[in-house]
Amino acid sequence: MRSPRPRPGVPVLAVLAGVAVLALGVAPGPAAAGYPLLPIADDRGFLGNLTAPSLTPGASGPLAFSVEDPLAHPLSAVLLEMDVYAFNGFPGNATSFVPVAGAPVLVTGSGSGPTANVTIGGLAPGTPYRGSVGVATSSSTPNGAYAVRFALTFDLNGSAYRLASRGWFSAALWAEATELPNGSVYLNNSSLETLGVSGVLPETAVLVSTSAYDWVLTGILAAAVVLIAAGAWVYFRRGGSSAGAR
List, in sequence order, the alpha helices (H) in the chain. Answer: 11-22, 40-43, 171-178, 189-195, 214-223, 233-237
Residues 229-245 as b/e (b if ≥16 CB within 10 A, e otherwise) read bbbbbeebbeebeeeee
179 to each of 35, 40, 163, how far by Cα in Å?
A: 22, 16, 19
Q: What is the pLDDT of residue 73?
A: 93
Q: What is the pLDDT of residue 23?
A: 40
Residue 38 lies in a domain: yes
Q: What is the pLDDT of residue 237?
A: 44
Q: How many of the other CB atoms lie within 10 Å of CB of 167?
A: 27
Q: Which domain, by its residues, includes 135?
A: 11-237
Biggest alpha carbon–alpha carbon distance for the chain: 61
Residue 245 lies in a domain: no
Residue 5 lies in a domain: no
Residue 3 lies in a domain: no
CATH code for the domain in which residue 141 is found: 2.60.40.10
Residue 36 lies in a domain: yes
Residue 160 lies in a domain: yes
| 121 φψ region: left (φ > 0), alpha (ψ -120 to 50), beta (else) | left
Residue 4 lies in a domain: no
Q: What is the pLDDT of residue 185?
A: 83
CA distance 207 to 87: 10
Q: What is the pLDDT of residue 101?
A: 85
Residue 244 lies in a domain: no
Please give the radius of gyration of the chain, using alpha carbons only, rounded to the nearest integer.
Answer: 18
What's the number of domains the chain is made of? 1
Indicate the pairing of strand 115-123 with strand 54-55. Answer: unpaired
* pLDDT by residue, tens only, the chain of 246 residues: 444 444 444 443 434 334 444 444 444 444 445 799 998 888 889 999 999 998 999 999 999 999 999 998 999 999 999 999 988 887 656 577 777 888 999 999 989 999 999 999 999 998 999 999 999 999 999 988 899 999 999 999 999 999 999 999 988 999 999 888 887 888 889 999 999 999 999 999 999 988 655 555 555 554 443 333 333 443 334 443 333 323
Q: Are 112 and 105 in contact (CB under 8 A)?
A: yes
Q: What is the pLDDT of residue 218?
A: 54
